[in-house]
Amino acid sequence: MKFLTILAATMAAGIGSVWLAAALSFGVLARYTQHMLSLAAGALLATAFMHLLPEAFEGKADAHALFTTLLVGLVFFFLLDKAELWHHGHEHHHEDAVDHGAHAGHAHQHAPQPGSWAVLTGDSLHAFGDGILIASAFVADTRLGWITAVAVLAHEVPHHMGDLVVLRGGSPNQRMALVKVSMAGAVTALGGVVGYVLVDALQDFLPYFLVVASSSFVYVALADLIPQLQRQLAARETVAQIIWLVLGIALVTFISGWGHPH
């Protein structure tokens, strides 16, 4: 039963985040993008500090080792971001060189987007990791698993919005871009299956899986989402940001209380 629950949650987080991103990017919800960023940041921080980390420290694992894992996780995700920035910077440099070499720049305009497959590959790997994290949380506690799945869904929405923009840059076909990103998101379920098998077989390492999940959420919230919100805005917009951030925290708190005897 837990296996089927993990499968359902990972599919919902992986594909649901893509469809919500499409609604925000292409549909009537496009004007709520900033609100979604605030909501995701609040949900991630609440999930990491109020649920994943406390759950990890309730076990028998050494506290010093867990804090070391948290630090290593944060540094790892920082380096991963650096590698991705370097990769995209190298691609753009190459594109510019090709563009300047063209006589009128017309051929460059119609060329396939070089970063499209890199985006899809990166998406798939990231989704696979998300699936493992969700499965780890479900093995620890079903309620914690659903909280993590919602947090993954929330933090993937802004990410997928950027991916859809990149893919549409290489092709005017909006539907095909959505299909491609949805397929990458579906890899979350594969990660969930692998995660279920690995975590179930390695129960002693479960606290470390949970801490790695926490480091991922904290890094994304503080290094990616919140910096996008730190702009000089009117008082009304600033209040709206704070409200949506609190709503993200409240959402996780509500889900944590759902079905919990206490």
Question: Domain locations in the chain?
Answer: 2-94+113-257
**pTM recorded for the entire structure:** 0.64
Whose tokens are 């990972």? That residue is 10
Q: What is the pLDDT of residues 25-72, one digit of tens each?
A: 676 666 666 777 788 788 888 888 988 888 889 878 899 999 999 999
CB count, 10 Å around CB of 212? Answer: 23
**Burial bucket for residue 172 (CB in 10 Å: 0-12, 13-18, 19+):** exposed
Helix (H, G, I), strand (E, B) or coil at 135: helix
Decide if pLDDT at 98 tops 50.
no
